[in-house]
Amino acid sequence: MIRRDLRNRFLLGLLLAALGVPAMVLAGSHATPSLAQPPHAIVVEKSVRQDFGTVRDALRQQLKEDGWNLIAEIDLGKRLAKKGVDIPGGLVIFKVTSGKNAMPLLAKDETRYISAMMPCGVSVYGKSDGSVLISRMNFDLIRSALEPEVAAVMRQSSTQLDASIASAITGLPIR
C-alpha cells in the first residue's frame, strides 16, 4: 500500500512537472529548486516530412500489420472543425493495445491499475508551418515509478510501438 501511494505521488509529480509546475510548489517552499523538465517531456514526438493523410494512412496500416489491436481511431481534427477550431492538416488519435503484452498485467489484481493507461494513444497531427508529427506518451519517463513487472511490459510495448512508427515512416517519400 505504501509503495502504491509513493508511486501515485511520483506519477502526479511527473504530470505536474510536465505541465510546468515548479518543483518548489510540489515539495513545499523549503525545497531546493531543481532543473525543470522540458514542457514536452511527457510525450515523444517524431517529425515526419510528408503530408498528414499519407502519414496517417501509413501508420494505421503499419500498426495493423505489426499486430496491434486498433481499438479506436479518433479524428479529433474533424470534430474540432465542427466547433470552429482549425487544426492545420488534421489530428487523428489511434488507440492501440497488445493483448499479448497487456493480458498478464490485467489478469492480476496487483497490476490491473495499469489499465488506466490503456489503450496506448498515438497521435498524428499537423502544425501551422505545414509539418506533421507523430506523438505518444514517454513511457521511459513513467516506467521508473512502476514495479519491475509493469516496467518490463511497458519497455517491451514502447519498443514495439517505436518500431511500428519507424517502419511506417521509413518507406515514405520525402515531400
What phi and psi values does residue 53 have, to the nearest 5 degrees? -60, -40
End-to-end CA distance of the chain: 53
Average pLDDT over all residues of the chain: 83
Say yes or no: 97 and 164 in one domain.
yes
Q: What pLDDT score does 28 carry?
A: 44
Provide the domain limits for residue 80.
42-170
Residue 84 backbone class (left: φ over 0; alpha: ψ -120 to 50; beta: rest): left
The answer on 23 and 94 residing in a single domain is no
For residue 175, tell me if it sits in a domain: no
pLDDT tens-place string over residues 84-101: 999 989 999 999 999 898
Specify if 55 maps to a domain: yes
Residue 21 placed within a domain: yes
If asked whether residues 127 and 166 sit together in one domain, one would say yes
Q: How many CA atoms lie within 13 A of 132 on its CB side?
A: 22
Q: Is residue 6 part of a domain?
A: yes
